[in-house]
Structure 1
Amino acid sequence: MDIAALVAWVVTALGGFVLLARWIGRGGLRQQQSRTTHFPAPLVFGHFLLAAAGLILWIVYLAADGDALAWTAFGVLVAVALLGFTLFARWIPVYRATAPTTTAGDEATPAERHLPLPVVLAHGLLGATTLVLVLLAALGVGGS
């Protein structure tokens, strides 16, 4: 269960990197001042940094096999999931609102409108899977 959680977490992180790069590339940071984007930078980077910190904790747990580390990583992952749900809730109305423009420099279209639906959905589903796997591993299901 421990390794399955690690694999799911790493694959989820790869999808997250794609989404973060796309959001930044489409002007998400520039749109902070004009408030075109519905994603506040602290929310985006908080989600990213907490997820990275949790992944590091999980790797340390795998090396040290300490129950406290597993539960700490799970707690961090719950916070990551809450931030992710917040981002998803802010993304849905933007995704449904208008078709994306083809102009990369268009400041009228929020950067998150350009996030690919399959990557958003896969990231969320893999994130939920990771959360369940980490919980099961912390509970000792499946042995380690």
Structure 2
Amino acid sequence: MDIAALITWVVTALGGFYMLGTWIQRGGIRQQESGTSRLPAPAVFGHFALAAIGLVVWIIYVVADKTALAWTSFGLLLPVALLGFVMLARWIPVYRDRATAGAPPAAATVQTGEATVPAERHFPLAVVLAHGLLAVASLVLVLLTALGIGGS
């Protein structure tokens, strides 16, 4: 079960890394001053940093098989999940605006016409959904492994 958790966590991280790159590339950091982006930079980077640290701890756990490391990873995942849910809640209105207004053209810049488009508006729905579902699966698998259920 520890390897299954590792695989789901890595795939989740790939989706998260894609969204982070998209957010940075589309001006998410610059939009902090204007308030255009609905995702606060501390939440974005805190989510990323805690998830990355937790993944490193989980990799060490898979190698060392020390229960304390499994629980440490789980403990790190809790604030990661909380930040993820906060960002999801702030992203949903941006997605709804995109769905009603139509997606901007692929060549659109951060500035479109008179209004500035939030950087997170460019997140593909499939990536957001896959990232969230895999994150929940990772959290459950890490918990079950830490509890000793399913073997390691």
Per the shorter chain, which TM-score range?
A: over 0.9
Correspondence 1:49-68 to 2 at 5 A:
49-68=49-68
Paired residue secondary structure (2:4): helix
Are residues 1:126 and 2:131 paired?
A: no
**Which letter does structure 1 place at the counterpart of 2:121?**
R
| Matches of 1:44 and 1:119, distance apart in 2 | 16
| Matches of 2:151 and 2:38, distance apart in 1 | 42
Partner deviation per Cα, 1:22-74 (whole Å, 9 max, x = no partner): 11111111111111001111100000000000000101111111111101100
TM-score (norm 2): 0.91
Are residues 1:38 and 2:38 paired?
A: yes
TM-score (norm 1): 0.96
| Matches of 2:58 and 2:110, distance apart in 1 | 39
| Matches of 1:104 and 1:17, distance apart in 2 | 21
Whether the 8 Å contact between 1:100 and 1:109 is mirrored in structure 2 is: no
The answer for unaligned runs of 5 or more in structure 1 is none
| Matches of 1:42 and 1:141, distance apart in 2 | 35
The answer for unaligned runs of 5 or more in structure 2 is none
Structure 1 ranges of 4+ moved more than 2 A? 98-102
**Which letter does structure 1 place at the counterpart of 2:146?**
A
Partner in structure 1 of residue 91 of structure 2 = 91
| Matches of 2:3 and 2:149, distance apart in 1 | 13
Number of residue pairs matched by the alignment:
144
Whether the 8 Å contact between 2:54 and 2:77 is mirrored in structure 1 is: yes
Match of 2:104 among 91, 101, 105: 101
